[in-house]
C-alpha cells in the first residue's frame, strides 16, 4: 500500500529527501539513498508508472541508440536484453522490474505533480506543493528529465487542423494510421525511427525536413540464446562487454570536442548509408547534411533512407507556411492534403519547464535566475542560491555519444556524498559558492568554444537562445565521474543545524 503524502491528520508530510520524477534518474536516486540507509524519502511522479522518457515515448519504432549493455544500471545488469539496441517496451519493462526488485515502490507517489517548491530559510527545508498536498523535505532532488516536455512548433493553423495531430512523445494509439495520409514534421532522432514504421502502413507519407541530419548505419543484432546464457553464467563477461562498449564510445569524444575531422570515417559511413538507401541522386543530394557530423546528434538507422526512397513517401524541404483544416501548405504554396500530422519537433531543453516551479530563499525562481545568462549549475548538479537542491541530468551533463545512465549514476554518487557530508558535519543546508560555480562554468564554456557543437555550422537543441551550449558535457565521461566522485565541501557554504536550546534539566545538571 502506497502511503499518502499527507499525515492522517492532513498535516504536511515531512521527509528527508523529496525526489521528483521516476525515470532512470529518480529511480537510481531512490535505490541508492535506500542503500545508504536514507530511507526517509518520497519520489513523486506526475504519471502513473515509472519509466520517464521510456514510459512516455511509445511511438512506433522507439528504441535506444546506445547499446543496452551500457544503457542500463551498472548495479542491475540484465543478461536478457534481446538485441544490442533495445526497443522501448523492453527498456520500460527493465525499469519496472528494477524498481520492483529494489523494494522502493512503497515510497513512490504516482499521479502526483510538483506544482511549486520554495525554500523555507528559517526551517532549512524545501516546501513543495504537490497535487497530493504539501511535502516538506531537507533536500530536493530534481530528476524530471531534460527531454520530457514536448516542444510544439509555432506553425500557423496547426491548432485548427481538422484531423489528428500529436507529438511523437505523446503518441495517440487510438488513431489507426493504416491507409491514411500522414505528415511527419521533423527529421530528428524520433522522426527517423517513426518514418520507416509509418511508411509500411500508411497510404502516403510527407516528411517535412528543415535540416538534413547525419544518419549512420545501425549495427543492431539479436542476441542468440547461447550469448544470453553466457552473459548470465560466465562471471565478469557482461561487465567486460559493458566496459568494452563504454570505452569504444569514449573514443568518439575527441571528434566532438577537439577536432571534427577525426570523424571522417563516420562521415563516410553516413554518406555510404545514403547511397545504399536512396537510388535517386536528387533525393540523395537533398538528404545530405551541410554541417559537420556531430554538430547535431548523430542518428543511427538502416531503415530511414530506404523509407524516404519508397514510392509512397515525399520528402518536403520547403518550409511549412501554414496548416489548413485538411492540409499542410509549404512555403512554395504547394498544398498537401493529410489526415494526420505527427509532430516530431523535440523538447524544451535549454529552458527547463521545472525551473519555473522552484523558488530559492531570495524569492526568485530558477527560471528567473537563468533567464539572463542561460542555465548553469555547479558540476551540473547544484546551484548557488538554491540550498540542498540537486539536479540529476542538470545543465551541461548531456552526452552526444554515450549512456545518460552513466551520467545519472555519477550525479547520484555526488548526491550521496553530499548527504553523507551533511550528516557528518551536522549541516542543515549546503549550497555551492558563486565563485566556484562561475569558475566551473567559465572553464566549461571555454572548452565548448572548440567543440563541433559550436563550430560545426548548425543550430541544435544543444544551444540556448544566446547560442550558448548549456546542455552537453564537453569532455570524456570518466572526467565527469571523477569530478562527481566526492563532495567538495570546501566549495560550498555549509549552514550548521541549529543547536538545540538547553532544557531546564540540562542547565541544572
Q: Does 488 bind ligand N01 (CB under 6 A)?
A: no
Q: Does 5 bind ligand N01 (CB under 6 A)?
A: no
- Count the residues of the shown chain that bind ligand N01, applying the rule CB under 6 A: 23
Site for ligand N01 in 325-344 (CB under 6 A): 344
Dihedral sign for Cα 369, 372, 378, 381, please.
Answer: positive
Q: 57 vs 410, which CB is nearer to ligand N01?
A: 57
Specify the 3-state DSSP secondary structure of 133: strand
Q: Which stretch binds ligand N01 (CB under 6 A): 32-40, 135-143, 205-213, 420-428?
A: 205-213
First to last CA, the chain: 46
- Reference 385, options 358, 412, 417; nearest CA is 358
Contact 474, 444 (CB under 8 A): yes
How far apart, in whole angstroms, are the C-alpha atoms of residue 456 and residue 463? 12
Q: 13 vs 297, which CB is nearer to ligand N01?
A: 297
- Taking CB atoms, the residue at the shortest distance from ligand N01 is 188
Q: Does 418 bind ligand N01 (CB under 6 A)?
A: no
Q: Does 185 bind ligand N01 (CB under 6 A)?
A: yes
Q: 186 vs 196, which CB is nearer to ligand N01?
A: 186
Contact 262, 90 (CB under 8 A): no
Residue in 168, 273, 359, 381 binding ligand N01, rule: CB under 6 A: 168
- Reference 165, options 155, 193, 308; nearest CA is 155
Q: 179 vs 319, which CB is nearer to ligand N01?
A: 319
For helices 237-250 and 225-233, the axis angle rounded to 10 degrees is 100
Q: Does 186 bind ligand N01 (CB under 6 A)?
A: yes
Contacts (Cβ under 8 Å, ≥6 apart) of 319:
210, 330, 331
Residue in 65, 90, 116, 250 binding ligand N01, rule: CB under 6 A: 65
Site for ligand N01 in 18-57 (CB under 6 A): none
Q: Does 256 bind ligand N01 (CB under 6 A)?
A: no
Q: Which stretch binds ligand N01 (CB under 6 A): 76-84, 206-214, 220-228, 365-373?
A: 206-214
| C-alpha cell, 119 | 525554500
Nearest approach in angstroms of CB 403 to ligand N01 is 10
| C-alpha cell, 307 | 523509407
Q: Does 208 bind ligand N01 (CB under 6 A)?
A: yes
Q: Which stretch binds ligand N01 (CB under 6 A): 8-16, 108-116, 179-187, 357-365?
A: 179-187
* Adjacency order of strands within the sheet including 313-316: 164-167, 340-343, 181-185, 204-208, 313-316
Binding site residues, ligand N01, CB under 6 A: 63-65, 147, 153, 168, 185-191, 208, 210-211, 297, 320, 344-347, 461
Amino acid at each position: 500500500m502506497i502511503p499518502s503524502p499527507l499525515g492522517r491528520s492532513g498535516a504536511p508530510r515531512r521527509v528527508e529527501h523529496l525526489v521528483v520524477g521516476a525515470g532512470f534518474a529518480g529511480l537510481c536516486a531512490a535505490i541508492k539513498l535506500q542503500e545508504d540507509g536514507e530511507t526517509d524519502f518520497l519520489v513523486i511522479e506526475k504519471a502513473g508508472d515509472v519509466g520517464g522518457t521510456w514510459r512516455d515515448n511509445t511511438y512506433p519504432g522507439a528504441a535506444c541508440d546506445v547499446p543496452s549493455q551500457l544503457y542500463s544500471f551498472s548495479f542491475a545488469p540484465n543478461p536478457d536484453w534481446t538485441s544490442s539496441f533495445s526497443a522501448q517496451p523492453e527498456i520500460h519493462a527493465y525499469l519496472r522490474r528494477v524498481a520492483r526488485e529494489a523494494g522502493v515502490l512503497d515510497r513512490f507517489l504516482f499521479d502526483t505533480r510538483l506544482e511549486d517548491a520554495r525554500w523555507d530559510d528559517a526551517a532549512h527545508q524545501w516546501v513543495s506543493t504537490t497535487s497530493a498536498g504539501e511535502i516538506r523535505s531537507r533536500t530536493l532532488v530534481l530528476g524530471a528529465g531534460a527531454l520530457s516536455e514536448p516542444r510544439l512548433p509555432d506553425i500557423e493553423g496547426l491548432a485548427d487542423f481538422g484531423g489528428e495531430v500529436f507529438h511523437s512523445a505523446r503518441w495517440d494509439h487510438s488513431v489507426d494510421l493504416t491507409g491514411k495520409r500522414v505528415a511527419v514534421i521533423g527529421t530528428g532522432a524520433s522522426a527517423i525511427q517513426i518514418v520507416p514504421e509509418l511508411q509500411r502502413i500508411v497510404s502516403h507519407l510527407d516528411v517535412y525536413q528543415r535540416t538534413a541530419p547525419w544518419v549512420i548505419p545501425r549495427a543492431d543484432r539479436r542476441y542468440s540464446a547461447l550469448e544470453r546464457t553466457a552473459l548470465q553464467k560466465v562471471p565478469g563477461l557482461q561487465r567486460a562487454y559493458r566496459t568494452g562498449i563504454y570505452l569504444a564510445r569514449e573514443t568518439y569524444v575527441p571528434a566532438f570536442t577537439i577536432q571534427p575531422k577525426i570523424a571522417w570515417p563516420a562521415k563516410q559511413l553516413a554518406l555510404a548509408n545514403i547511397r545504399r538507401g536512396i537510388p535517386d541522386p536528387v533525393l540523395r543530394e537533398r538528404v545530405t547534411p551541410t554541417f559537420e557530423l556531430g554538430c547535431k546528434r548523430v542518428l543511427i538507422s538502416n531503415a530511414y533512407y530506404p523509407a524516404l526512397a519508397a514510392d509512397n513517401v515525399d520528402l518536403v524541404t520547403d518550409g511549412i507556411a501554414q496548416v489548413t483544416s485538411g492540409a499542410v501548405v509549404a512555403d512554395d504554396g504547394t498544398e498537401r492534403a493529410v489526415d494526420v500530422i505527427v509532430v516530431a519537433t523535440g523538447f524544451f531543453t535549454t529552458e527547463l519547464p521545472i525551473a519555473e516551479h522552484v523558488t530559492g530563499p531570495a524569492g526568485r525562481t530558477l527560471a528567473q535566475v537563468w533567464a539572463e545568462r542561460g542555465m548553469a549549475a555547479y558540476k551540473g548538479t547544484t546551484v548557488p542560491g538554491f540550498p540542498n537542491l540537486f539536479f540529476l541530468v542538470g545543465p551541461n551533463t548531456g552526452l552526444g555519444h554515450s549512456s545518460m545512465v552513466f551520467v545519472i549514476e555519477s550525479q547520484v554518487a555526488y548526491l550521496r556524498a553530499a548527504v553523507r557530508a551533511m550528516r557528518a558535519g551536522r549541516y542543515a543546508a549546503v549550497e555551492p559558492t558563486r565563485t566556484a560555480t562561475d569558475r566551473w562554468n567559465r572553464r566549461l564554456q571555454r572548452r565548448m568554444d572548440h567543440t563541433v557543437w559550436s563550430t560545426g555550422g548548425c543550430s541544435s537543441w544543444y544551444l540556448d537562445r544566446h547560442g550558448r551550449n548549456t546542455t552537453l558535457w564537453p569532455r570524456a565521461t570518466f572526467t565527469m565521474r571523477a569530478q562527481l566522485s566526492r563532495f567538495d565541501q570546501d566549495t560550498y557554504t555549509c549552514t550548521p543545524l541549529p543547536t538545540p536550546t538547553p532544557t531546564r534539566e540540562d542547565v541544572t545538571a
